[in-house]
C-alpha cells in the first residue's frame, strides 16, 4: 500500500527495508530515545546496538499501512515481517511506531502493538463458534497463540493455531 510519509519517517522506513544501518542512524538525533515494547535505548550508541540486534540481524521489513498526527506525534502503523521468532505474536504483526520529530530528526520513537485492528488485515478479533455451555458463571472464550504438541511440522517450523482458553467472570 502506498502511504505518503513525512520525509524523515520515509528515510527511517527506507533505511530499515534496505538494511542500511548508517541511513537509519542518520535519521535519529544524537540524544534520541527509543522505547521498544517496554525497553528504552537512549543515545546514538544504544540505538545503534538496538538496531543491529532487533532490526538488521533479523532482516526486519516494514510495510506502511497508515500515518496520522496525534498529540504532537506522528503515528505510523506498519506491518512487520522478518526472520524473528514469532512465538506469541499476532499474525500478521501490526505495530504503531510513534515519532516525535525535532529539527528534521527523530527525537523519540515508541514501538508498540497496534492499538486497533486495521481494515483489510488479518489481525481481526476471532469470534467463537458453537454453543456455550450454561454454567453458574459466565464463560468467556479467549484465544491466544500457543505452541502445542503436534504443531511442529516436518520442516521443524511451528505451525501456529489459535488455542482456546476460558476465563470465568464472577
Domains and CATH numbers, the chain: 7-113 (3.10.450.50), 138-169 (no CATH)
For the entire predicted model, the pTM comes to: 0.67
| Mean pLDDT confidence for 12-36 | 96
Q: 30-34, 74-78, 105-109, 113-117: which range is least confident on average?
A: 113-117
Q: What is the pLDDT of residue 15?
A: 97
Strands 105-113 and 28-36: parallel
Tell me if 23 sits within 8 A of 17, measured CB to CB.
no
SS3 category, 137: coil
Phi, psi of 127 (to 5 degrees): -90, 135
Tell me if 158 sits within 8 A of 127, measured CB to CB.
no
Average pLDDT over the chain, rounded to an integer: 78
Residue 155 CA, distance from chain mean position: 26
pLDDT at residue 64 tops 70: yes
Q: What is the pLDDT of residue 136?
A: 44
Amino acid at each position: 500500500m502506498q502511504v505518503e510519509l513525512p520525509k524523515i519517517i520515509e528515510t527511517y522506513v527506507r533505511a530499515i527495508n534496505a538494511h542500511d544501518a548508517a541511513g537509519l542512524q542518520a535519521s535519529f538525533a544524537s540524544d534520541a530515545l527509543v522505547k521498544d515494547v517496554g525497553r528504552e535505548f537512549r543515545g546514538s550508541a544504544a540505538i545503534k546496538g538496538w538496531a543491529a540486534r532487533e532490526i538488521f540481524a533479523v532482516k526486519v521489513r516494514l510495510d506502511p499501512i497508515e500515518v496520522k498526527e496525534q498529540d504532537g506525534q506522528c503515528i505510523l502503523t506498519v506491518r512487520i515481517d522478518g526472520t524473528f521468532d514469532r512465538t506469541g505474536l499476532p499474525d500478521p504483526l501490526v505495530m504503531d511506531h510513534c515519532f516525535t520529530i525535532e529539527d528534521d530528526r527523530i527525537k523519540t520513537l515508541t514501538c508498540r502493538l497496534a492499538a486497533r485492528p486495521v481494515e483489510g488485515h488479518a489481525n481481526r478479533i476471532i469470534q467463537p463458534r458453537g454453543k456455550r455451555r450454561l454454567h453458574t458463571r459466565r464463560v468467556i472464550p479467549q484465544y491466544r497463540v500457543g505452541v502445542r504438541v503436534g504443531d511442529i511440522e516436518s520442516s521443524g517450523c511451528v505451525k501456529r493455531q489459535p488455542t482456546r482458553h476460558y476465563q470465568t467472570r464472577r
